[in-house]
Amino acid sequence: MKFPPWTSVSEAADLLKAGEVVAIPTETVYGLAGNAYNPEALAKIFAAKERPTFDPLIVHIADIAELENVARDIPDAAYRLAEAFWPGPMTMILPKKDCIPDLCTSALPSVAVRFPSHPVAQAIIKESGLPLAAPSANLFKHVSPTTAEHVAAQLADRIAGIVDGGPCSVGVESSIISLVGAPTVLRPGAITPEMFASVVGPVAIKESSSKPGQAMEAPGQCDTHYKPSVPLYFGTVPTNYKLPEHTVRIAFGQQAGPIPATVSLSETGDMTEATANLYAFMHDLDTPDYDLILVDPIPNTGVGMALNDRLKRASIKALP
């Protein structure tokens, strides 16, 4: 096997039809894809990621019409949201069809579905002729990959192929909204609660907390998640706290910090730019050269809700 196993769109489609798993680019993060109808392929995804089976997978399609292939009892609100935000970084939770194995949904009666906007992801889905289950292409609880090289560093020897589609433009996982009952945002992302509300009216926002061993309503609900190996601290550093010698800082906007900025998510405070940069910077600074990664506070509004969500899960709870 080539190492890393760089793979073309047509090779990826053939591997997926053969029941293998392949890393593919999306606009959010790279996904580890397998045939959503094939329990053996799904098992390979969980094994490669070392992901517990109580954490459900998102099924990816390449046409709104394909929603009917994987979900049932689809409400009108789902089609209104699809017309507004698909293809794009939105996942909907809907009642599942029996053709979707329980392994994909952690035995829940609902399925998470997304139509990605990345042209390479769409091409692979279309050429394979399959809906693709695809969580982020990284080891469980580690930082999600936003380049093919990030995938190769963690999974190259565990999977059948990696398709390089360039850096991800959004940079954090999709927004998740459940339409099983009243519309409820389960995971913040680039599609904000205000954007959802503009299409379907008032939406609830559920603060997620994990119950290990029990099926989660949606992916990415673990209290500890998205972690680099180097301890990361998100928030204001207490006055007079002595930082380790090799501390680095991910700045945001023009905030003053306890040490000079090592990198800046966005010098102008642009949330979209910051979101696209977050995981890449976390990967870049996750080296043995550093003892601690500080991240500046970020306003918890709009897309900032997604940044705060990921950083709270990645952060140590107290400075050492």
pLDDT tens for residues 251-274? 999 999 999 999 999 999 999 999
Q: Can you give the three-state secondary structure of the chain, one letter per residue?
A: CCCCCECCHHHHHHHHHCCCCEEECCCCCCEEEEECCCHHHHHHHHHHHCCCCCCCCEEECCCHHHHHHHECCCCHHHHHHHHHHCCCCEEEEEEECCCCCHHHHCCCCEEEEECCCCHHHHHHHHHHCCCEECCECCCCCECCCCCHHHHHHHHCCCCCEECCCCCCCCCCCCEEEECCCCCEEEECCCCCHHHHHHHHCCCEECCCCCCCCCCCCCCCCCCCCCECCCCEEECCCCCCCCCCCCEEEEECCCCCCCCCCCEECCCCCCHHHHHHHHHHHHHHCCCCCCCEEEECCCCCCCCHHHHHHHHHHHCCCCCC
Average pLDDT, integer, range 193-215: 82
Asked if residue 96 has pLDDT above 80, the reply is yes
Average pLDDT, integer, range 227-242: 92
Lookup result for tokens 């580690």:
142
Q: Which CATH superfamily is 9-205 part of?
A: DHBP synthase (3.90.870.10)
According to the model, what pLDDT value does residue 226 have?
A: 78
Residue type, 147: T
Asked if residue 213 has pLDDT above 60, the reply is no
In this predicted model, what pLDDT tens digit does every residue of 292-317 receive, in sequence order?
999 999 999 999 999 999 999 899 98
Average pLDDT, integer, range 116-125: 98
Distance between CA atoms of residues 123 and 15, nearest Å = 14
Average pLDDT, integer, range 136-155: 95
> Full-prediction pTM beyond 0.85?
yes
Asked if residue 235 has pLDDT above 80, the reply is yes
- DSSP β-bridge partners for residue 96: 71
According to the model, what pLDDT value does residue 239 have?
A: 87
According to the model, what pLDDT value does residue 2 have?
A: 59
Asked if residue 212 has pLDDT above 60, the reply is no
The CA angle 307-205-279, to the nearest 5 degrees, is 15
For the chain, the first-to-last Cα distance in angstroms comes to: 43
Q: Band the pLDDT of 141: cuts 50, 70, 90.
A: confident
According to the model, what pLDDT value does residue 317 have?
A: 87
Where are the domains positioned within the chain? 9-205, 232-314
Beta strand 58-60 with 110-114 is: parallel
Which is higher by pLDDT, 261 or 2? 261
Asked if residue 160 has pLDDT above 70, the reply is yes
Peptide bond into 87 cis (omega under 30): yes
Average pLDDT, integer, range 12-40: 98
